């Protein structure tokens, strides 16, 4: 089921089904992250946790697009939000996009996005005892942040239940991630 969720073609961002598709992607990637953690593949888990967060940001950006465009100072910024930010969520702009989401009511999202970006960095460099290439000096530290990121992701997805059309498929995917997270992961590191 997880592979099916992650590999589906995405609807166009203008399509009403886009938010649901991105949330399903979010949950699929989160489940894969937990599976990788269980197998001791911390860098792969960090990658999947980051991808899950990025997919959630895409869903939130689409959901809040009209509010975000109202904050934009120019027509060019509005077009960029619609044509680049929502469909691509450029990694180099994630902090700025998180700030915009904070400004329309998503409290604490900037801190969690910073955590996701730290995991993205860890994905490439692994543990670094000198903390030069990665902020994580041990695999255990990165693994703990993967779990924390997924816990936050679950809360934010659940908070959307009343705001979007909530399908059985979304509910099932959410329950799968929660089940994979409970009891707290014992890492195979």
What would the two tokens of residue 132 be? Answer: 């030069």
**Cα separation, 117 vs 51, whole angstroms:** 10
Q: C-alpha distances in angstroms, 98 versus 22, 132, 158, 162, 183? A: 16, 25, 19, 22, 30
**Cα separation, 157 vs 29, whole angstroms:** 13
Considering the entire predicted model, what is its pTM? 0.93
- SS3 of residue 65 by DSSP: helix
Report whether 122 contacts 142 (CB < 8 A). yes
Q: What is the pLDDT of residues 55-67, one digit of tens each?
A: 999 999 999 999 9
Q: Where are the domains of the chain?
A: 2-181
Q: What proportion of the chain, given as a percentage, has pLDDT over 90?
A: 85
Q: What is the pLDDT of residues 148-171, one digit of tens each?
A: 999 999 999 999 999 999 999 999
């Amino acid at each position: 089921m997880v592979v099916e969720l992650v590999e589906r073609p995405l609807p166009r961002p203008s399509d009403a089904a886009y938010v649901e598709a991105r949330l399903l992607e979010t949950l699929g990637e989160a489940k894969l992250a937990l599976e990788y953690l269980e197998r001791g593949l911390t860098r792969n888990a960090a990658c999947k946790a980051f991808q899950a967060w990025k997919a959630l940001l895409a869903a939130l950006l689409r959901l809040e697009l009209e509010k975000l465009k109202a904050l934009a100072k120019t027509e060019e910024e509005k077009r960029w939000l619609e044509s680049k930010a929502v469909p691509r969520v450029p990694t180099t702009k994630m902090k700025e996009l998180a700030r915009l989401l904070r400004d329309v009511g998503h409290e604490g999202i900037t801190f969690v996005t910073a955590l996701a970006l730290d995991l993205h960095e860890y994905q490439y460099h692994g543990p670094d005892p000198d903390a030069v290439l990665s902020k994580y000096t041990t695999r255990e530290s990165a693994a703990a942040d993967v779990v924390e990121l997924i816990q936050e992701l679950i809360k934010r997805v659940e908070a959307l239940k009343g705001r979007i059309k909530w399908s059985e498929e979304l509910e099932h995917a959410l329950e799968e991630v929660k089940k994979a997270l409970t009891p707290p992961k014992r890492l195979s590191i």
